[in-house]
């Protein structure tokens, strides 16, 4: 139960903006796949979405220091989106606070 609470806080921090349509999402993924600069900006935007409370929780989930947790978690999440490992449905689930073992594994780097 504690892990679920932690991951809900993480998900809320990562995806504070509205979930795009599937078509917009697919276009965004294509952009990220073709541009390392766009990928870096996506990670920066993700990092900006975190507050202090979420940072500690993300550190526990990613098994990193609180200092590095946000960057590591965002890197892992964006990399999963770019590789196709995290799908549109996964992003919708996270936004709706419906987390799966797959999503947790992504944040854990497994």
Tell which residue, 24, 27, 21, 67, has the closest CA to residue 47. Answer: 67
Q: Angle, to 10 degrees, between the axis of helix 66-83 and the axis of helix 101-108?
A: 120
pLDDT of residue 18: 62
pLDDT of residue 61: 83
pLDDT of residue 97: 65
User: Two tokens at 106?
Assistant: 């992504």
Q: Mean pLDDT of residues grouped by 10 in the chain (110 residues)? A: 44 53 85 88 83 78 90 92 92 76 90
pLDDT of residue 2: 46
CB 89 within 8 A of CB 43: no
């Amino acid at each position: 139960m504690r892990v679920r609470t932690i991951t809900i806080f993480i998900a809320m921090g990562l995806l504070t903006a509205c979930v795009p349509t599937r078509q917009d999402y697919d276009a965004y993924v294509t952009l990220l796949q073709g541009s390392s600069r766009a990928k870096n900006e996506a990670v920066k935007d993700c990092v900006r979405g975190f507050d202090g409370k979420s940072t500690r929780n993300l550190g526990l989930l990613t098994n990193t220091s609180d200092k590095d947790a946000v960057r590591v978690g965002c890197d892992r999440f964006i990399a999963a989106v770019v590789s196709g490992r995290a799908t549109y449905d996964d992003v919708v689930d996270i936004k709706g606070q419906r987390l799966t073992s797959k999503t947790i594994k992504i944040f854990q780097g497994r």
